[in-house]
């Protein structure tokens, strides 16, 4: 699986919606550059952990330290960049 960051952005939007059960959100509603947490989609700390689970299940990326995610979860684009840089293993 070798996707570009832009492809990953589209892929991640769908997978985030499924993982977090965001039934009233469509992929097109998510701005790739808007913050995922706080003001953006209104996600919380448990959602962050669900996204960690999603990364492992969908992309095989094991996150050991929640601190790592602070940067990666800044936006969908940041997350796509993180996935692109970690998924060759």
Contacts 24+ apart (CB under 8 A), 7-13: 8/80, 8/83, 8/84, 9/76, 9/77, 9/80, 12/76, 12/79, 12/80, 12/83, 13/76
- Considering only 6-14, 21-29, 32-40, 76-84, which stretch makes contact with other proteins by CB under 8 A? 21-29
Nearer to other proteins, 2 or 21 (CB): 21
Nearer to other proteins, 2 or 89 (CB): 89
Backbone Cα Rg of the chain: 12
- Counting contacts by CB under 8 A, is residue 14 touching other proteins? no
> What 3-state DSSP class applies to 74?
coil
User: Min. distance of Cβ 46 from other proteins in angstroms?
Assistant: 5
What is the contact surface with other proteins in residues (CB under 8 A)? 20-24, 42, 44-47, 49-50, 52-53, 56-57, 65-66
């Amino acid at each position: 699986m070798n996707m570009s960051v832009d492809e990953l952005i589209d892929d991640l939007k769908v997978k985030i919606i499924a993982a977090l059960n965001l039934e009233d959100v469509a992929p097109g509603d998510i701005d790739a550059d808007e913050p995922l947490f706080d003001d953006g989609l209104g996600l919380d700390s448990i959602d962050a952990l669900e996204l960690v689970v999603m990364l492992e299940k969908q992309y095989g990326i094991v996150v050991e330290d929640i601190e790592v995610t602070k940067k990666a979860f800044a936006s969908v684009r940041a997350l796509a960049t993180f996935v692109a840089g970690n998924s060759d293993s």
